[in-house]
Amino acid sequence: MVEAQIPLTIGFSNRLIFANFISGKNEQVIDNLKLLIREKSGGFIYLWGKSGSGKSHLLHASCVEATQQNKKSAYLPLDEIDFLEPEIFLSMENQDVVCIDNLNFIEKNTDWEIGLFNLFNQLQQENKLLIVSSTVNPLGSEFELQDLKSRLASGIIYHMQDLADDEKLMVLKSRAQERGLELSQEVLDYLSNRVARDLISLISWLDKLDEASLISKRKITVPLLRDLLNN
């Protein structure tokens, strides 16, 4: 069988690292991820929590850390499987660190469940590290392959804790700086008092502000934000 290749569109971001992750109450997760990545033995970590809790950031950061340790790594977001086939898992069997995001997107999909089950067994047999994320804990998942469900419950399981509101604004400011944007405290306060405070919503507003600033050729200020909110 010809080994499947990882599409060029799938990969991890070098900008999402442990150093710029706002951990809040999740500091222990980072410490354990770093420890397992640096060790020669393999393992399995399952991160779960609601969208915006930082799971994807940690998976990207784990791949970056592995690369810095001269290890081969791969990142696969399963929310993008519309243009992929389960054979993509075959291309990951020779990686040292494999990070698979959004497991919940392949629940009740037999071919994908079998592919993940086979990859899990292969990586564990070869003492490789597998890190996965989902919006639900493994025992609460809807995987129909019971052997897979039991495997997913067998590792180190972390429930990602929500960030405080001020920590979410720190994340937003950091993301803005990565784009070359400057968000003043006045803008941050104005935004947080007028939109939903979950991280997904805040980042979506950053996208809107970025676009509005570019189109209008105005700096991101409270008047610009006010105009955007009113429209």
Domain residue limits at 206: 165-230
For the beta carbon of residue 181, count every other beta carbon within 10 angstroms.
16
pLDDT of residue 129: 97
Q: How many domains does the chain have?
A: 2
- Name the β-bridge partners of 134: 48
How would you write the pLDDT of the chain (231 residues) with one tens digit per residue? 334 444 434 578 788 899 989 888 899 999 999 999 998 778 999 999 988 889 999 999 999 999 999 999 999 999 888 878 999 999 899 999 999 999 999 999 999 999 999 999 999 999 999 999 999 999 999 999 999 999 999 999 999 998 888 988 998 998 898 888 889 999 999 999 999 888 888 989 999 999 999 999 999 999 999 999 988
Evaluate whether residue 75 is within a structural domain.
yes
pLDDT of residue 206: 92
Which residue is listed with tokens 């676009």?
211
Nearest to 191 by CA among 180, 207, 178: 207
- Same-domain pairing of 128 and 178: no
- Same-domain pairing of 82 and 188: no
Q: Which of 105, 127, 159 is the last residue of a domain?
A: 159
- Same-domain pairing of 34 and 132: yes
- Same-domain pairing of 64 and 177: no
- Same-domain pairing of 116 and 196: no
Nearest to 57 by CA among 8, 116, 15, 11: 15
Under 8 Å between Cβ of 172 and 220: no
Angle formed at CA 132 by CA 44 and CA 179, multiple of 5 degrees: 130
- Same-domain pairing of 105 and 144: yes
Helix axes 55-68, 27-38, angle to 10 degrees: 30
- pTM greater than 0.75: yes
- Same-domain pairing of 141 and 216: no
pLDDT of residue 92: 93
For the beta carbon of residue 167, count every other beta carbon within 10 angstroms.
15
Question: What distance in Å separates the CA atoms of residue 139 and residue 193, rounded to the nearest whole number?
Answer: 37
Alpha carbon of residue 133 to chain centroid: 7
Q: Which of 134, 159, 184 is the last residue of a domain?
A: 159
pLDDT of residue 10: 59
Nearest to 174 by CA among 24, 52, 63, 21: 21
pLDDT of residue 199: 84
Question: What distance in Å separates the CA atoms of residue 53 and residue 10, rounded to the nearest whole number?
Answer: 21
pLDDT of residue 102: 95
Under 8 Å between Cβ of 133 and 101: yes
Question: In this structure, which amino acid lies at residue 64?
Answer: V
Question: What distance in Å separates the CA atoms of residue 190 and residue 208, rounded to the nearest whole number?
Answer: 15
| CATH number of the domain encompassing residue 89 | 3.40.50.300
Evaluate whether residue 141 is within a structural domain.
yes
Q: Which of 159, 177, 200 is the last residue of a domain?
A: 159
4: which 2 tokens? 């499947």
Question: What distance in Å separates the CA atoms of residue 231 and residue 226, rounded to the nearest whole number?
Answer: 9
Evaluate whether residue 2 is within a structural domain.
no
